[in-house]
């Protein structure tokens, strides 16, 4: 049985993935958080020029080793312009952050942009990040479901892929890095993957959190003999349980962990045999460069990216070549995809 994909989406998905059908993508669409981090590193205030320069340097040095780069329209167009010619471009469509004074962490779109305007700028895919607690009030989640339906329909009308990123949270378990949240995380990730794989959202690729916190997996290097809330076998089962729920390709996000922890996490996903199709890897790759940029300037950052940044990207590609699955295999292989022309 074949799966139908429109030509516009299909061609762009090929552009965003490598020749093996894997997304080996760099994410640097952070805005407010990156500006604050750069400010601390500079010992004062960072302005938009600092943020744009940091992104441009990351793009220049790392996109030759990336199948795609995720940027934002506020600080990222210079970085987009200098990316490698074969590197695809994803763009963030959501407002950065959320209103902490209101319950629900409701999402919003950048008001001056539309999917059509992004497509006219040469963007290959739209990315939306949304904070989502499947156990939140039904009224809040109904609003969020409708929001994603609208974005999916807009992407579909322009024939451009929709990458959806859900980040789970809890208003009662407020320490997202703690052991209690780690216990709750697998079920929350499982529920949102089950929800957003539904066809009404028209999502082409799910960008998801790994369902466990490796710091709390017994016997891992990240755990280092500390408190554990899962055995290795339980962690592998959580990977499998979440992966079995989706009907669209999915990739993992790095969620701000160290490069070493993210690599170990991907190796565990590979051990679990889950058919993830790559990553959008952000801070795990480049966050150590923030301090270098702040203390020693742009050329010091460039030198670090050329050496350590490139080493990390090459290693990431090697790990994914062993652990990840081509996105088209999710549909049974490229020969099972029927590419449709849009009229």
pLDDT by residue (tens digit) across 152-167? 999 999 999 999 999 9
Does residue 302 belong to any structural domain of this protein? Answer: yes
Alpha helices, DSSP H, located in 197-280: 232-243, 259-272
The DSSP output letter for 339 is: E
For residue 320, what pLDDT is reported? 98
SS3 for 275-306 is CCCEEEECHHHHCHHHHHHHHHCHHHHHHHHH
Does residue 73 belong to any structural domain of this protein? Answer: yes
pLDDT at 1 over 80: no
Q: Which distant-in-sequence residues (6+ apart) come within 8 Å of 298 by Cβ?
A: 53, 57
Structural domain boundaries enclosing 296: 3-334
Does residue 244 belong to any structural domain of this protein? Answer: yes
Does residue 47 belong to any structural domain of this protein? Answer: yes
Does residue 170 belong to any structural domain of this protein? Answer: yes
Mind listing the pLDDT tens digit for each residue in 174-190? 999 999 999 999 999 99
Task: Return d(Cα 41, Cα 300) in angstroms, integer.
Answer: 13
Does residue 342 belong to any structural domain of this protein? Answer: no
CATH number of the domain at 259, please.
Answer: 3.20.20.70
Mind listing the pLDDT tens digit for each residue in 50-80? 999 999 999 999 999 999 999 999 999 999 9
What mean pLDDT is predicted for residues 32-48?
Answer: 97
Q: Which residue has the higher pLDDT, 342 or 162?
A: 162
Does residue 341 belong to any structural domain of this protein? Answer: no
Say how many domains are in the chain: 1
């Amino acid at each position: 049985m074949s799966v139908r994909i429109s030509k516009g989406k299909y061609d762009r998905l090929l552009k965003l993935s490598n020749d093996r059908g894997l997304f080996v993508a760099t994410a640097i669409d952070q805005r407010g958080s990156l500006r604050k981090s750069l400010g601390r590193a500079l010992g004062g205030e960072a302005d938009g020029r600092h943020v744009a320069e940091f992104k441009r340097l990351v793009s220049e040095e790392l996109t030759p080793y990336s199948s795609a780069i995720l940027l934002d329209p506020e600080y990222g167009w210079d970085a987009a312009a200098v990316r490698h010619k074969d590197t695809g471009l994803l763009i963030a469509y959501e407002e950065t952050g959320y209103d902490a004074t209101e319950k629900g962490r409701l999402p919003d779109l950048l008001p001056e942009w539309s999917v059509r305007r992004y497509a006219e700028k040469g963007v290959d895919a739209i990315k939306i990040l949304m904070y989502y607690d499947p156990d939140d009030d039904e009224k809040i989640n109904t609003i969020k479901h409708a929001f994603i339906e609208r974005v999916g329909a807009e992407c579909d009308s322009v024939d451009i892929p929709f990458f959806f990123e859900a980040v789970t949270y809890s208003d009662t378990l407020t320490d997202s890095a703690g052991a209690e949240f780690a216990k709750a995380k697998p079920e929350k990730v499982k529920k949102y993957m089950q929800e957003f794989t539904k066809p009404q959202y028209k999502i082409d690729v799910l960008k998801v959190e790994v369902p466990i916190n490796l710091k709390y997996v017994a016997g891992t290097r990240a755990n280092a003999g500390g408190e554990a809330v899962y055995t290795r076998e339980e962690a592998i089962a959580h990977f499998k349980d979440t992966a079995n729920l989706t009907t669209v390709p999915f990739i993992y996000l790095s969620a701000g962990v160290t490069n070493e922890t993210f690599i170990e996490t991907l190796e565990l996903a590979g051990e679990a045999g889950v058919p993830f199709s790559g990553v959008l890897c952000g801070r795990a790759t480049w966050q150590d460069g923030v301090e270098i940029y702040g203390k020693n300037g742009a050329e010091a950052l460039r030198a670090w990216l050329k050496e350590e940044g490139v080493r990390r990207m090459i290693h990431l590609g090697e790990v994914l070549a062993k652990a990840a699955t081509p996105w088209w295999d999710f549909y049974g292989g490229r020969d099972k995809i029927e590419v449709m022309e849009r009229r």
